[in-house]
Structure 1
Amino acid sequence: MRMVAVLAVAALLTASSCGSGDDDKPPPSTVEVFTWWAEGGEKAGLDALVTRFNADCPGQRFENGAVAGGAGVNAKQALTQRMARHDPPDTFQAHAGAEMTDYIDAGQVEDLTAYYDSWGLREALPAGLIDDLTVHGKIYSIPANIHRANVIWTNPTVLSRAGITAPPNDLPSFIANLSALKAAGIEAPLALGRDWTQLMLLEAVLITDLGPDGFAGLFTGETDWSGSPVTKAINDFTVLLSYGNLDRDTLDWPQAERLLIDGQAGYQLMGDWEAADLTAKGFPGYGWFTFPGNGKTFQWLADSFTLSTGASNISGTECWLKTVSSASGQQAFNAAKGSIPARTDIPSTGFSPYQRSAMADWKSTTPVPSCAHGSACSQPWQTAVNAALNAFSTTHDPKTLQSALAQAATQFIRE
């Protein structure tokens, strides 16, 4: 017994000595942040946000749960698998808007409404954006940014060699420019990637041919997917595809972007994360313009973050979300990523010429959502549309594509 007592006292003294001094700080708590930001401007933006998080949240450690894949295609599949086995990350990236519906209905994300009040977000964010984020009177995500989807990026050198010196005013002029590039020896004037990037292109054409209200109505049931305006848009879309690279279904957007950088294409339609990515890859001399015929329409999407139901580190996740929502966090993140802040109280100083232009447009143009990026449609609806586009790559049948799109809308609008 005496030996046991001696050992116990020794152990207590050892623990006491190890617990004294500045060197004995508790190990940091890990916050797993699940995103699809794995390269280029997206990764640069995430790194800037993590630096801000490390400064704002001492005692917390960022754990990168990124899964690569444009628009989150691969990440969403991995997240679905984790949710099914009840192994959620502490927080995950999701597109604000309709894409959040499935997570909310499944009880996989927590209500964050109280944070909007305590962190002053109702004053810092546009009222319209907060309305779009609200589901049944509650808010379940915090937006980090605003992106614009309907942007054409250009290689000015390639264009000038074909005698093209100004952006096209309308869709027929754009097609004429594509034809001129082809005549000048550019085999694939329009750089294209896989299904979701083709959906972005189709959406831009739909905005041109239907107008912003008609386009938005496609996702509320007010516009008929079987109507003649959609038929025209699909035919225009088919013409544009004929000027694209034949290997488009095997490329993600950065690989398609490489065609633009290397001078093998003159144009690429992509979200404005491409601005930062082109600069990061040593191609700062790009040009840009809103998709021809879209006029004063801003097709928006927003990356947002959640608090997962069952998160293992709630306090750390709260600190991550507060950093994401803060003026300093959004300044650092968006300046690096190429998007613009969701907050309206951040000056444009320090942002690129493109970002300053987008910040001005966000205040003056007509906003419409994007199915390709979850602000207009749910994930199952998005999956059905991408499947229809994949099938179209094989059948090349516009009527079948329109029928599939109309069938998907009938199914998901009624649900």
Structure 2
Amino acid sequence: MRSTRRALAAVVSAAALLVASACSAGKDDDTTASKVEVFTWWAEGEEKAGLDALVSRFTSACPGQEFSSGTVAGGAGINAKQVLDARLQQNDPPDVFQVHAGAELLDHIDAGQIRDLTAEFSTWGLTGTLPEGLIETITVNGKLWSVPAGVHRANVVWTNDQVLADAGILTAPKNLKEFIGNLAKLRRDGVESPLAMGRDWTQLMLLEAVLISDLGPKRFTGLFTGTTKWESKAVRAAIQDYKLILDYTNTDRDSLDWPEAERLLVDGKAGYQLMGDWVAADLEAGNFSGYDSFAFPGNGKAFQWLADSFVLPTRAANQAGGTCWLQTVASPEGQQEFSAKKGSIPARTDAPTTGFSDYQLEAVEDWRTGTAVPSCAHGSACSQPWQNAANAAIGAFSTSGDAAALQSALAAAAKQFIRQA
């Protein structure tokens, strides 16, 4: 995200005010110790509806505990993370806080800021009901640290059916070759931007999808564990495929976020968009029904996931209440009620699916039968500093088109941030 020093200072100042407010509002004037401050960035829309569903279940499942909102709105979690970091540095943590499951937790683990939840995973039935790939990714130093509330899929292509039909494209492409052929066909048919695209992290999502197609799920995951080398010929070939596909995107991609890129799709200026499955709720909310979706061509059964999850701070004031919140989040019923409202799917494969849309039901089946693959673009495969380095490399490539420089930068980031098992 681009920002001036003045804008950044304003955000930090606002964060400091929020921290001060949080410190004074909940600690001294509470007459009981039963309030549970739940820190999230779910302030509106489907996210807020999902949170409200969890609050309702928590209230009935945890008598004697009272939910207290620690929501910080804005910036898709960016503002919230700044406030949270400031509070953790001041030893004033909330009772539980929201994170993306996976490598994004590394800094909190290293600082001793969150509790090991391995025993609770077993007690709450999570170890036998979460996919093996998810368990493997969220395990750090042999321990489990966060409870996933719901899962979104990143490697999904969304379509404008009318644009595709006008170009004579009536079926989903089976592989990268067919997909690239369709992009070329759309451009010949007068569609200037066959694939709608946004800035840095959305471009990283595209590169990851191409890497999964060219390397397969196992070797792709190995890029973030050290078993697959970024310097390899296979990665070089994938970057060339990525470069070719990027040439079929809108030239103003670096100035757009994903909703603005989605507008190109809805307005008929693009035939495809690669984006996570939160797009479905957005399209429906905008009363756009002329779309379809499919897994990125060549990804097969790979389900590239990102998971909203919660952790228990080591210095939380209400450990019992925080634990009860996590148990609510971990329950099959809690995950069903949350996902039905938010548009995600349960992380648990045994959760009910009452109230789910057709897309959600398809995603649940893919989650149960597919191969769980993490995402660096969404913090499950790599740490925040590594993600920042990858986004910077992707942004530079969008301007330069230098494939060798991109591969070199990604390899250097891996050497700097990777953790050998």
TM-score by length of 2: 0.84
In structure 1, the residue matched to 2:324 is: 319
Instruction: Find out whether 1:409 has 2:417 as its counterpart.
Output: no
1:412/1:350 Cα in 2 relative to 1: closer, same or farther (>3 Å)?
A: same
Q: Deviation per CA, 1:126-168: give whole Å up to 9, x if none.
A: 4553444333343211111222211101121222122211111
The answer on 1:260 being equivalent to 2:265 is: yes
1:77: how far off? 4.2
Q: How many aligned positions are there?
A: 390
Check the 8 A contact 2:36/2:321 in 1, yes or no. Answer: yes
Q: Deviations over 1:221-264 (max 9, x none)?
A: 22221122211211221222222223322332223222222322
**Partner residue of 2:381?**
376
Partner-residue secondary structure (3-state), 1:125: coil
Aligned match for 1:120, one of 110, 125, 131: 125
* Partners of 2:246 and 2:44 in 1: CA distance: 27
Query: Which sits farther off after the overlay, 122-131 or 281-290?
Result: 122-131
Equivalent residue, structure 1, for 2:71: 65
Residues 1:258 and 1:79: Cα distance change in structure 2 (over 3 Å): farther
| Paired residues for 1:14-413 under 5 Å | 30-57=35-62, 59-70=65-76, 72-126=77-131, 129-413=134-418
CA separation of 1:46 and 1:197: change in aligned 2, threshold 3 A? farther
* Equivalent pair of 2:40/2:97 in contact (CA under 8 Å): yes
Secondary structure, in 3 states, of the residue corresponding to 2:293?
Answer: strand
Q: Distance in 1 between matches of 2:242 and 2:273?
A: 14
Aligned-pair distance for 1:32?
A: 3.5
Distance 1:123 1:222, change over 3 A: closer
Structure 1's 76 and 252: CA in aligned 2 closer, same or farther, altered over 3 A? farther
Distance 1:42 1:306 in 2: 18
Identity of aligned residues (%): 63
**Which of these two proteins has the greater Rg computed from alpha carbons?**
1
Higher deviation after alignment, 137-146 or 344-353? 344-353
Tell me the alpha carbon deviations over residues 293-343 of structure 1, each in whole angstroms, 9 at most, x when there is no partner.
112222222221011232233333223212211222111111222221112
Letter in 1 for 2:322: T
1:30 to 1:186, Cα distance in 2 relative to 1, 3 A: farther
Return the letter of the residue paired with 2:248: Y
Query: Displacement, 1:394?
Result: 3.0
- Give SS of 1:299's match: strand
1:183 CA drift (Å) = 3.1
Q: CA RMSD in A?
A: 2.5
AA at the equivalent of 2:202: T
TM-score (norm 1): 0.85
| 2:276 alignment partner, SS class | coil
Deviation at 1:124, TM superposition (A): 4.0
Q: Residue 65 of structure 1 aligns to which amino acid in structure 2? A: T
SS at match of 2:168: coil
Pair 1:328–1:366, CA change in 2 (3 A): closer
Secondary structure of residue in 1 paired with 2:294 = strand
Q: Mark the CA change 1:42 to 1:242 in structure 2 (over 3 Å): closer, same or farther.
A: farther
Q: Which amino acid aligns with 1:186?
A: V
- Equivalents in 1 of 2:195, 2:124: separation in Å? 44
* 2:418 counterpart SS class: helix
Question: Matched residues in 1 for 2:320 and 2:406: separation?
Answer: 47
Extract unaligned runs of 5+ from structure 2. Answer: 1-29
Which string of whole-angstrom CA distances, capped at 9 and with x for unpartnered residues, describes residues 149-199 of structure 1?
A: 111011212221222111112212212222222333333221212211111
CA contact (8 A) 1:33 1:66 kept: no
Paired residue type of 1:308: P
Alignment of 1:1-16 (within 5 A): none
AA paired with 2:74?
A
Residues 144, 325 of structure 1: 8 Å contact kept: yes
Give the 3-state SS of the residue equivalent to 2:312 in structure 1: coil
Q: Distance in 2 between matches of 1:47 and 1:185?
A: 46
Distance 1:185 1:241 in 2: 17
Residue type at the aligned position of 1:187: E
